[in-house]
A and B are shown apart, each in its own frame.
Chain A
Amino acid sequence: MSAKLKNKGVVPSITVPDGGKWATTARQTAADLLSETGLPHRRDEYWKYTDPTTLTAPEATPAAIFKSDEALPFDGVDAVKIVFVDGVYDAAQSDALELAGVEIETLADAAQKDIHWAGSVYGVLEGRGQNPVSRPLASYNTAVSEQGFVIRATGKAAKPISFIYLHESETSDAVIHHTIKLDEGADLTVLENGPAAARINAVMEVEVADSAAFHHVRAQGRDHERRTATHIFARLGTESSFKSFTLTVNGILTRNDAIIEFTGDNAHATVAGACAGDGAFHHDDTVFITHDAVNCESRQVFKKVLRNGAVGVFQGKILVKPDAQKTDGYQISQGLLLDENSTFQAKPELEIYADDVACSHGSTVGAIDDTALFYLTSRGIPHKEAQDMLTLAFLGEAIDEVEDEALADDLRSLLQGWMARRHS
């Protein structure tokens, strides 16, 4: 990485990497914005429940490598596999960047070109997502990132693209930025998994044109000590569809932001997630959905299982602009606390300026249902196994948001593995 964060909690000094004209402009714009906003601080409204100190510190806190012989999630999926090691693209371990219906380039290659379609997406969607809430970690990412892919789907992709983020150095600090564009009617699935580094700052910008469909399934797992900040910025055209699901297990600190903007009518977006945390685990989902078109539907479904002092945070906002009539916005966040030491904080927000909309939100926090637990154990199912069944059932309602059955099954077995390890 060419730039380092120099100051904690204030404006970092940044060296924007060299590139072609479009990339340099975008990077400089982001750097300028960052110098205005400064880095996030606990005093910021959207960092009240999550301490960003280790995410903004000049150096990554070292993280031990998690050793496991288990297959990686989505290993059995026929996909174009793209491997990063400690946040750096590893061509040798990756498949050829060839996929019918899709153009795949590295950010570094694309940035060298004078004119590129990515200039209308890179830093642009991220920039739109900076208002009304500033997102300095994303600005930082846009300003300095040299790693990531620039992907354009022109039709229906023959198979998914699967990003695999391996973590090999205990002190690695990764900044990855993917720029994705789906042309009209295109269909693309992007998978992501792996811890990536001791610390990762990841941004994914997704432009979904009219009638296009984007599917995103992410498994954040393995390393216990990793620290992660991710942002997804998406802009949705008419009758388009965007679905993103994230499963998180372990990880000392995870902050996942999703900023979705409806600009075309009759579109759909789902942002969902399930997480399971045990002990030193802080997990924050922050979602901001802007409805600026007619008859669009958005769903937010988040479930968190927490024990041994783990903390879960959900901040979800639905903003319905004055002309976004017939909006259907749904939001549910639920915490399942397996003991009295764990915490779930939820901040649902609705801001509605149109008068003909259906928006609903719900948030619950509770313990395992004793009656259900007794019913299962009275049939001979051991207490721990019964608790796992009920935990899995709880998280399963979020996993149900994943359309692809094979991917959903992968996520379920990942969770089962996590539970089994916890007992051993």
Chain B
Amino acid sequence: MLEIKNLHVGLEEEDKQILKGVNLTVETGKVHAIMGPNGSGKSTLSYVLSGKDGYEVTDGSAELEGVDILDMEPEERAAAGLFLAFQYPVEIPGVGNMTFLRTAVNAQRKARGEEELSAAEFLKVVREKAKSLKIDADMLKRPVNVGFSGGEKKRNEILQMAMLEPKMCILDETDSGLDVDAMKLVAEGVNALRDAGRSFLVITHYQRLLDHIKPDVVHIMADGKIVKTGGPELALEVENNGYADILAEVA
């Protein structure tokens, strides 16, 4: 599904290299997790994959289903099936959540040559999916993320994911700022989307989230590289011993 080879990325504005040769393959239908200490480049990887400005790819490639995505605009990547659940979902005053969702869904359908959803069809689907995430009508009406609590913002991210039905979902620290109950709710939302045709890349500091979203593969990232790859037991090792042991081992 997602194949990243030797990816080198620096900041556009300053001479600073952040990713220093990332190699990563996420197979179709699998859940991969990336863990790593602060500053290891995890969030940068998610931003570069989704097309945020300010980064310069100096070497390497990233392909989604065999198609190079690094030259695409963010909206083209989204239409190709990539989705990033933001660590810090953005507040957009003046744009209604429902309008935003419908515009996004229909823009992607249009880009893929599919028929746009009518207002009634859309409403039916969104209400159903919102209900399972405990998102009420008021949250759908309000401006995007404005006045939402931390938990509501993350649930709103998952709702967008559920509506857009991407093939490749990247979750950037979706557990940050969530209490246990909110994390469970979000994890349930993600698990409901697990499917043989859909892949996930879950970025997190903590093993906790991975109790709820069980990964197939766990990677440890440090200093802009994947330094170790293993099964779910690797996450437990981090939980018990911290990153220091692993980093010392691979150094």
Contacts and interface: CB of A to CB of B under 8 A. Distances in A.
**What bracket does the count of chain B residues touching chain A fall in?**
20 to 34
Interface stretch (B93-101, B114-122, B129-137, B186-194): B93-101
Given A389-B95, A393-B93, A378 B107 contact: no
Contact of B74 (A372, A378, A393, A397): A378
Interface stretch (A279-287, A379-387, A402-410): A379-387
Interface in A389-420: 389-390, 392-394, 396-397
Given A370-B53, A382-B107, A375 B75 contact: no
A260 to B, nearest CB: 27
A377 B93 contact: no
B89 interface: yes
Contact of B103 (A370, A385, A397): A385
Contacts of A379: 75, 78, 100, 104, 107-108, 160, 164
Contact of A378 (B78, B111, B143): B78
A374 interface: yes
A5 interface: no
B93 A397 contact: yes
Contacts of B50: 378
A144 to B, nearest CB: 43
B111 A380 contact: yes
A376 interface: yes
A392 B94 contact: yes
Interface string B81-111: 0011010011011110001100111011001
Contacts of A376: 92, 95, 100, 104
A391 B94 CA distance: 9
Interface string B35-69: 00000000000000011110000000000000000
Most chain B CB within 10 A, of A376, A380, A386, is at A380
A388 to B, nearest CB: 10
A2 interface: no
A424 interface: no
Contacts of B84: 378
A68 interface: no
B52 to A, nearest CB: 5
Given A374-B53, A375-B86, A375-B89, A382 B75 contact: yes
Nearest to B105: A380
A380 B94 contact: no
Contacts of B144: 375
B94 A381 contact: no
B90 A372 contact: yes
Given A374-B52, A379-B100, 13 more contacts: A376-B100, A377-B78, A379-B75, A379-B104, A379-B108, A380-B78, A380-B104, A380-B164, A385-B103, A386-B75, A390-B94, A393-B94, A396-B94
List 5 tightest A-B contacts by C-beta distance, closest first.
A393-B94, A380-B78, A380-B108, A379-B104, A375-B90
Interface of A: 370-372, 374-383, 385-386, 389-390, 392-394, 396-397
25 contacts: A372-B90, A374-B51, A374-B53, A374-B90, A375-B92, A376-B100, A377-B73, A378-B51, A378-B74, A379-B100, A379-B164, A380-B75, A380-B104, A380-B105, A380-B107, A381-B103, A381-B107, A382-B75, A382-B111, A386-B75, A389-B99, A389-B103, A392-B94, A393-B92, A393-B143
